[in-house]
Amino acid sequence: MNRLPWAPLNAGVFLIILGGVILLSFFNIGATLATAFPLIFAFFGAWMIVEAFVVPPTNAYSPPRSMILVWGALTATLGVLWYVGATSIGLLPIALVVVLIIVGISGVGYSFMRASPGPPKTSTS
């Protein structure tokens, strides 16, 4: 299987997202220029989350999938919070609480996923 270079792939996807969202904002289709930049962050973060599951690591020195997933989630979360703050400041505390609940649920899920039954420990006394 051919190794996929991550840097040109991510740069290309970022430029496609950047150009597409700014083009839509110029024509006022779904976004204004003030809300275009938060949407760029949100969409690129979503791309990184998808990339963490779809694109396999290229070699032993590649970042682990969990790192790509967390950076994508962080970028998308900041983009969504920025978008909510730019469009409706009154909903920002609710969006922040929802993000905290999602982070808590994912932390519990990650801990259950990492938990594995180990061999029984023998007493040394």
Domain residue extents for the chain = 6-114
Task: Give this prediction's pTM.
Answer: 0.80
How confident is the model over 62-75, as pLDDT tens digits? 788 888 888 999 99
Alpha-carbon distance values, 5 to 21, 50, 70, 89, 120 (Å): 25, 16, 20, 40, 44
- Residue in the block written with tokens 């969504």: 80
How confident is the model over 85-97, as pLDDT tens digits? 999 989 999 999 9
